Structure 1
């Protein structure tokens, strides 16, 4: 299987053969679920509930890094947190099959939590406080950490070196990126020393299933090390509407774990890093046929004009005071 065509041989027969190689019996039904980085399928079973099979993108994570994701999920579940962790089958959670690596999960239903709702955000804060208490009890050895170099400078260099921007926008993009790096450095200086812990890493509402007035966290594929605020800021909304959401989140969070208010200086820096990293992520995956279909606007000049506008907005936001939830 060539690196340029990931998952090209992953047809329904191979998917079912992989699942049945674990001694399970499917009913032949395979439904692709929404996922770009990996391939995820709902598998009907002859006996018992349907399962979810997740096939990991070749070459992205080492087995050891995936193992840390699975162990972290298991630790969170053992702490009575509702995390959809991989199922252990035949003594392991990660399974090889004909050049692929996959894991099975329980199928969970639910919908994204309602943004701006006090009860919901306070509950999410409590859950994240408990999750971070577990995250702070150990360290990752094989997974990365969020930072300006890994999530900002490297993505910008990739986009420029591979000529993703229209030529007439490259100079403006590069100058803005340099200004953003300086402004983000200043944010990190204002935050001072922050505690690094194991995080969910991609804690946006789409990775939370809300059901029966509880949050069920899914997809720890991007778990990494970083400051606690990384798992909070995407739930608080945009800065102009975020004072009360921040108050509600931290009200719940600090029921279980103290929060360093200085980390709020990092919110706009982390938002900026997500913008840069996301665009480079799409560019790096463009050889995967799923990406041009999912992001048909990505190569259009209008998209890159929008990115530059967002960078300008972020440069202004990085100069402003941090959120004030008190």
Structure 2
């Protein structure tokens, strides 16, 4: 089966192979790494099927994601759990792995809503209670080796930028990567969502956490810092609100605040490398037409310069806020 040409017939045949039938409404959802479709089944209502990109995660690594979701749901964390079939939660059709979920409906999470932000903090703490006792045998840890060293190698080999910008971009990239690597020293690691931003959260009587495709082990602050934006003062207000909810359930180690800017640098560099590595996938030029343009790389030089300054600045401090 051609992963890049999943036709409606192929999708419905794959679902039928595990006894799930598309009765109406087959619709592609915004997902670039995997292929995700929503549909309606007369008996089970709205469902979502995810076809996993080949050679990204192994069967064992995907199963660890599913097992983590099952453990979270059992502990009362608001997550969608993949449906069980005769073969388990992970299915295969003509060499492509896939899974089916009940669709989660709700409103977009409002990151600037302090009430919702506090509720998210409480929910993330419950997730981390489970994550602290959930080992991952097959998935990699959140590390500078993957997110910086290998990402830099991908950019050097695959980024398409004018020669005149390379002399400025790559030395700057190297300085950011080296400084972030020096500063990233997590003391404790647990199993995380790891990609916790507003687009992966829905609000329905509380926050629902979606898309655990990137879950792995890392420091707890990784699931918090992407909710922080704006000026330093605004970030302190947001952080204080998140932790007001978080610490009703689990203690937060304030020393991890020093990891925020290294983690931000890691995500920034890894995102650029992800786009470069996936550029041969037809979905990427169609959805990211601004990537690999001269304006894009000039903007990244500015962003990396600002990030280097942030890496050199004192980290956020709850002490100074309180």
| TM interval, short-chain normalised | over 0.9
Q: How does 1:231-250 map to 2 (within 5 A)?
A: 231-240=223-232, 241-250=234-243
CA deviation profile, 1:21-78 (whole Å, cap 9, x unmatched):
1123321531111111001001221323021010000110000000000000000000
Shift of 1:286: 1.0
Corresponding position of 1:299 = 292
Of 307, 311, 316, 1:323 maps to: 316
User: 2:126 aligns to what SS in structure 1?
Assistant: helix
Shift of 1:185: 3.3
Corresponding position of 2:169 = 173
Residue 121 in structure 1 maps to residue 117 in structure 2: yes
Corresponding position of 1:48 = 44
User: 1:120 aligns to what SS in structure 2?
Assistant: helix
Corresponding position of 1:21 = 17
Listed as ranges, the gaps of 5+ residues in structure 2 are none
Deviates most, 144-153 or 202-211 = 144-153
Contact 1:199/1:224 (8 A) holds in 2: yes
C-alpha distance in 2, partners of 1:64/1:119? 38
Residue 31 in structure 1 maps to residue 27 in structure 2: yes
Shift of 1:91: 4.8
Shift of 1:123: 0.7
Residue 310 in structure 1 maps to residue 306 in structure 2: no
CA deviation profile, 1:78-136 (whole Å, cap 9, x unmatched):
00111012111225001000121110000111233212322111111111111001000
Of 200, 209, 216, 2:208 maps to: 216
User: 1:318 aligns to what SS in structure 2?
Assistant: helix
C-alpha distance in 2, partners of 1:28/1:13? 13
Shift of 1:157: 1.2
C-alpha distance in 2, partners of 1:286/1:55? 19
- What is the TM-score of this pair, normalised by structure 2? 0.95
- After superposition, the CA RMSD in angstroms is 1.5
C-alpha distance in 1, partners of 2:51/2:209? 19
C-alpha distance in 1, partners of 2:235/2:120? 15
Corresponding position of 1:255 = 248
C-alpha distance in 2, partners of 1:232/1:112? 18
C-alpha distance in 2, partners of 1:19/1:165? 42
Evaluate the alpha carbon distance shift between residue 235 and residue 193 of structure 1 in structure 2; reply closer, same or farther with a 3 A threshold.
Answer: closer
- What is the TM-score of this pair, normalised by structure 1? 0.94
Contact 1:203/1:234 (8 A) holds in 2: yes
Listed as ranges, the gaps of 5+ residues in structure 1 are none
Contact 2:126/2:250 (8 A) holds in 1: yes
Contact 2:161/2:293 (8 A) holds in 1: no
Evaluate the alpha carbon distance shift between residue 290 and residue 39 of structure 1 in structure 2; reply closer, same or farther with a 3 A threshold.
Answer: same
Contact 1:16/1:28 (8 A) holds in 2: no
| Equivalenced residues, count | 318
Contact 1:239/1:323 (8 A) holds in 2: no
Shift of 1:247: 0.5
Residue 79 in structure 1 maps to residue 75 in structure 2: yes
Of 270, 279, 285, 1:277 maps to: 270
Evaluate the alpha carbon distance shift between residue 69 and residue 193 of structure 1 in structure 2; reply closer, same or farther with a 3 A threshold.
Answer: closer
